[in-house]
Amino acid sequence: MASNTIKNPLLRTVANRSFSAQACAKPVPSANAEVKTTVLPNKLIVASVENNSPISRVSILFRAGSRYETHDNYGTSHVLRIAAGLGTKCYSQIGITRQIQQVGANISVTSDRELISYTLETTRNELENTFDILSNVAMQQAFKPWEISDNLSRIKYDLAALPPVIRSVDLLHKAAFRTALGNSIFCPKHSIGKISSETLQHFVRSHYLANRGAVVGVGVDHDRLLAYAQNLCIEDGESCDQSSTYKGGEIRVDTASSSANVAVAVEGASLKSTQEALAFAVLQYAVGVGPSVKWGSQNNTPLGKAVANAAKDDPCAVSALNASYSDSGLFGFVVSGAPNVAGQAVKAAVKQLRSGNVSEEDIRRGKAQLKASVLMAVESGAELVNEIGAQAVLLGNVTSGSNLACVIDQLKSSDVNAAAKKIASGKLSLAAVGNLTCVPYLDELK
């Protein structure tokens, strides 16, 4: 392939070198970078942060998480995650892989109960060349039956490798909401191999719509991103969202395990109640989210102290749990420890959760830790693009990290204690996985 060397004109080669030698634009701290948002006529939201990062990230998101699955297509969102990068209408699987690797880029897909997002990460000079691949992976899937069948082992691996703590939190949603938000983000075993190409195509046509989506970018010019979004072939249409009502309940999965993993929660705050959602977030850090220092102690938080006193010398870990969604939420804790002390640890944690009061010192610490978490998250381009996308799709607007930190500062102690009182009177839900010999039943918890 020596002949390829002389195909590039000398002038172009010199010019490229000259441009690359020029000083790059100074990076802007992500927390202070301006967030630009535009709503297109088809209601697709376009949002971006130009922080002059050498890596550009673009994400296409839709409200198409597991909560939108029905009884006849449970597990569809999990299969969609697995199908990302398989053959599309314009590219083969090997073609996508080869072109992405050639330019050193990366395409990933993530999904949760509300959203599915397709994210491209690449250097700035290759962004234009990879836009088309991203749009194909996100919206032009072919769902060839043989490719789906060949990747079923990946679903089985995901289920087999699922940590018991994550499984307990997943089951907690099922116990609390039953349907919609109660749908698992993992494919049920009975659905493996039963989700057809037609089912996947129908789900995509029903939920991958302009008024349910957003295109967001970090390290990319807003006008450039806007032009890209306007050229996307996203269908218009209307689809009904499934509301989710908190019910409360209990799910127990007893296994021959050396540990007990228990998740307990009451109804939390919705994302659309911004003030209340932030109060619950501060409360989470105030009561304790585990050690802040590697190998450190969790015993300096109210929740950590309560569980440590109950477990004594036996190993037991606890962390507050806070999950906010578009129309509801969960607030509680997760305990993981030796089976013989799990029962006492859960009772102690519930008692602390039901206290309904948080000290001024803990609230100040909670606000400081939450602000640090928010600002450190937006310093990561990968986390920032996910955060912007979630806000754009679920809330219709985007708040910068610095503005969010200011709102957290303005929260009053009365706001956090109001959230604590709401927790104290809420209806409990429980999910447990592992050796549950000593784990109390839901009606035994006060």
Backbone angles phi, psi at 317, to 5 degrees: -120, 150
Amino acid at site 9: P
What is the maximum span of the chain, computed from C-alpha positions, in angstroms?
Answer: 80
Say yes or no: do domains 26-230 and 250-444 share a fold.
Answer: yes
Residue 423, pLDDT > 50, answer yes
Q: How does the average pLDDT of the chain come out, rounded? A: 89
Backbone angles phi, psi at 78, to 5 degrees: -65, -45
- Separation in Å, CA 414 to CA 8, 279, 280, 406, 420: 68, 9, 12, 17, 10
Give the pLDDT confidence of 266-284 residue by residue, as tens digits: 999 999 888 999 999 999 9
Confidence class for position 32, pLDDT limits 50, 70, 90:
low
CB 267 within 8 A of CB 176: yes
Looking up tokens 């970018």 gives: 217
What's the pLDDT score for residue 5? 29
Of 31-35, 217-221, 372-376, the least confident: 31-35
pTM of the model: 0.89
Q: Given this structure, which CATH class describes domain 250-444?
A: alpha beta
- Rg, C-alpha atoms of the chain: 24
Looking up tokens 């290759």 gives: 126
CB 344 within 8 A of CB 335: no
Averaged pLDDT, 397-401? 88
Give the pLDDT confidence of 8-29 residue by residue, as tens digits: 333 333 333 333 334 445 555 5
How big is the chain, counted in residues?
446
Residue 6, pLDDT > 50, answer no
What DSSP assignment string belongs to 63-130? S-SGGG--TTSTTHHHHHHHHTTS-BSS--HHHHHHHHHHTT-EEEEEE-SS-EEEEEEEEGGGHHHH
CB 433 within 8 A of CB 259: no
Q: Which of 170-174, 296-300, 310-314, 371-375 has the highest mean pLDDT?
A: 170-174
Of 132-146, 224-238, 332-346, the least confident: 224-238
What's the pLDDT score for residue 297? 67
Q: Has domain 26-230 been given CATH number 3.30.830.10? A: yes
Of 30-39, 360-369, 370-379, the least confident: 30-39
Which of 248, 161, 215, 213 lies closest to 425, judged by CA? Answer: 248
Per-domain residue ranges for the chain?
26-230, 250-444
Averaged pLDDT, 89-102? 93
- Separation in Å, CA 209 to CA 42, 261, 357: 9, 39, 44
CB 280 within 8 A of CB 324: yes
DSSP 141: B
Residue 296, pLDDT > 80, answer no
CB atoms within 10 A of CB 66: 26
Portion of the chain with pLDDT greater than 90, in percent: 78
Give the pLDDT confidence of 73-82 residue by residue, as tens digits: 999 999 999 9
What's the pLDDT score for residue 29? 56
Range 39-50 burial, b when 16+ CB lie within 10 A, else e: eeebebbbbbbb
